[in-house]
Structure 1
């Protein structure tokens, strides 16, 4: 891969990476998922590789319009790798099997989706959301703006870097990403971090104060104070665990769960318990 004839310039690769950044979910559908966006991302670079070969360009576009679905941030490395393989095939069609391109995409979709969902969606995104929610107290617009700034400040340069890095490494990137030991350790670590973060977010954002009090003469005992001495945020933890049980074990939809919580809160407030 290191000795392959270069046909694409840094500008060509950069254009392809920006196309991926803006169009990876364009025209998403159940037949090909993000395959259309994948093909569009590489189309400009493929036109450079096959500028005098319309048949070769047509076949290359068809190869890259097939079903594709992964986490798009970390997944930016896959179209980068694919572009490197397409360049290799364009330069050495007799010595390179184009089926390697499709099989590489298919092999990387699942592992990258798992890593991306664990790291970004399950870990980093909740952290940024908790910061934004904390700053959005009393309806302040600062919260969502800070969240957007943090998220875009992370994913935009990351997607660009991973796309270009995937192109530079080519098949060498596949060997790294498919290393089972590295993948297992990283996935386990990210899962643990994600659970810790979700627990922290739940304890700080779920509000379920107990308003019930016991009074005898001048003596007033707050049930909330008793619960806080037993375990701080005990009732929010119970709400979170019950919600998880209903969604994960009983198959409740998000809308059904939200309506149930709303009804439960209304009953508790009416009875003066909360």
Structure 2
């Protein structure tokens, strides 16, 4: 770690500390449209203001990072550090593919969230609670403090280490990938992984079960949901997701209005017995 961070200048160390502290507020401005996108953008602002002199370049960078973002905060600082290093490369190279920044971000959210949720929410939090409860059962007033220390000390160390690691690794290896021409391959692979993650989220979070049945006589029924599943399992959630995406991207529909319409549609379908 020391060899990697030795190349980070004092000014960059200061900006990385800013990312570290701002990462605690990444989900403070949470909204369903962008999740932690606004907080991520806020964390990146010191680097954006440092690396870009032109107003239009700063605006473009801010627009890149205010898009949808969701990763476990304990480990998400690696993505922030990596994005910062890519912004540095983009500011220095005119032919750098700026779209690769968001592509790489999207590809890392799923894996890092899986690791972070498992280690910090599934393991460390439970261990910290178990230790604290042992002291609590004995009437020790330090039990809640012990819980906070056991959980937060590893979390803070990981958060800061990954902030520096993401920036130093990015600065080192992105330069090599760029020189060898492999950056386009990385971008393509990251794009595919990001699409797989989005597809998995769609399948997990968007559901539709039709309750429509038609009596065909002779004790036979036509169950609409079974017909839909024979065509393509999850075809309605997929088409509905694509419709929402089309309304947001092509028709520029307001996100709050879209949510209201989705809720209203769900109520209507339920009342008429379709779903």
- The two structures have a TM-score, normalised by structure 1, of 0.58
- Structure 1: segments with no counterpart, 5+ residues: 179-274
- Residue 37 (structure 1) aligns with: 39
Indicate the residue corresponding to 2:3 in structure 1.
none
**Does the Cα contact within 8 Å between 2:135 and 2:142 map onto a contact in 1?**
yes
Partner in structure 2 of residue 189 of structure 1: none
2: CA distance, partners of 1:90 / 1:70? 26
1:7–1:87 CA contact under 8 A, matched in 2: no
1:7 and 1:147 map into 2 onto residues whose CA distance is 34
Residue by residue, what CA displacement relative to the aligned partner does 1:2-39 show, whole Å, maximum 9, x if unpaired?
A: xx99895221222222221x212211111111111100
> Secondary structure at the residue paired with 1:144?
helix
Does the 8 A contact of 1:17 with 1:164 survive in 2?
no
TM-score by length of structure 2 reads 0.57
When the two structures are aligned, how many residues end up with a matched partner? 172
5+ residue gaps, structure 2: 1-6, 178-185, 190-275
Residue 56 of structure 2 is aligned to residue 55 of structure 1: yes
Where in structure 1 do 4 or more consecutive aligned residues deviate above 3 Å?
4-8, 171-175
1:5–1:91 contact (8 Å) kept in structure 2 = no
1:7 and 1:49 in contact (8 A); partners too? no
Structure-2 separation of matches of 1:130 and 1:143: 10
Tell me: CA distance 1:5–1:152, structure 2 relative to 1, closer, same or farther (3 Å).
Answer: closer
Across the aligned residues of Structure 1 and Structure 2, the Cα RMSD in angstroms comes to: 2.8
Structure 1 position 16 matched with structure 2 position 19? yes
SS of alignment partner, residue 70 of structure 2: coil
Larger radius of gyration: 1
Q: Secondary structure at the match of 2:73?
A: coil
| Distance across 1 between alignment mates of 2:91 and 2:49 | 11
**2:37 and 2:141 mapped to 1: Cα distance?**
36
Change (3 A) 1:24 1:133: same
Residue number in structure 1 paired with 2:95: 95
Q: What is the CA–CA distance in structure 2 between the aligned matches of 1:53 and 1:7, rounded to whole Å?
A: 24
